Structure 1
């Protein structure tokens, strides 16, 4: 009779939500809440669990953390280059250092190659080399202290087989009354696709292309800037549909070479937003766990007052 009573009054509890002693506890809780908890559990397993999994899988898409080059091959070139932080110093006409920049940087440059017969999109990945390897400071570099309204201060690094790859950091200097401040106008890379060291049998219609990106780096004084964070900047071109990705870290820009540096102590824009989806998913799961624990505690307290005799 008791088995018939349980079959009629209490609906069967889903197997995927009960096991061992935990299943017995849930069975007691079921006596208290009837078929309410089994429906919640069934609904969660059948409907919300796939949603949680799907949201977790889509989190990188929602935050923009996707691999743009999933469908193409990545070529790591420039293996002979020295990875790591390198320092580049601009000197004035008298040979006195006037600006110093240090960073560890690398580039991801997509291009069309004919190496496999038919045109294929490849991505060349290579570092910004140091001055002791295959890079040098261009004479086009300008000390920020000598910058004019039409010509900003800039560091120009030449590298590649014939020094035909050109990386530039442009620095604007501003006068606010008696105070001097500065900002980085942009990063740019002039890509020479004819350099076979980085681009194997390139089939690009143009021999070179300029890619540029504005960045938010500034100081309200003559102090320099330093930041160890890993950063990613997308450089675009007015004539190309492809973008160049610049990855850098351990950045130091001392535009007046005075040795006074201000550290970046705030996260870059977008980093906080990138954690919103994982935090929301975790909070939802924590809330569900809290609901089950509260219901279990109520059941234990009720069972002490009468248990099965009162049912």
Structure 2
């Protein structure tokens, strides 16, 4: 099949899947079409992403099943969607057989616009891989932390993979952080479903304003779920760190995530509780405040700062 013909058919499938329920007959027809040529999977993904983008850029064109557009018109729609996303910002056009990596360095944050219209905000020292198929949207969080504002699409679940933990959402905003064998899930809007491959039959639902800490290997049966504190925990999206009763040792570790100038805390002080609001890059200000709150003093050695008794 010629490339233009493949793209035409992919465009029509993208519209059909968006505008009609995917019943058994539709799924069987789609599977048969995809099976005829391995290149069709990538073509459909690109067409679906372009079609989704048309809503974002308000392109005044709709293809109805009972009034199909000409092949030239369908190609224009797909091309327009791709161009619009490329103009708007970062976009990821993914074939079904490969992943696209999105990462940040130490102290860096990055916003990525995904091909389906979702937004991903990566925190410091984070690595993710994105893989879209016609049936699923998947982000593998290899390390670090990311917040997602997920575009609604009931027919293509959006799943974040954090080690053995899976977090699924549709039309939801939430964050996932990997740390010390745990996956921390914080929900800012809607609801997510969480499970572990170690215990796939058990699910946990986390609603907006709640957070869950899930052991990667033990699964959701050993999860700790709490109310509140979500906004403070996600203050990094504004370049801030909010400390509400955090231990001095943990607070220093948070600052070390963002800065090359590293903090160390003498052991007797590490469990002292502190409060405050700081910029993520204000290491000096935090060290001075922490020393005042705990009756400690500061020692400097090159780029290192020690808080000692």
Give the alignment's TM-score, normalised by structure 2. 0.24
Which fold has the larger relative contact order, with Cα–Cα distance below 8 Å and residues 6 or more apart in sequence?
1
> Which has the higher Rg, Structure 1 or Structure 2?
1
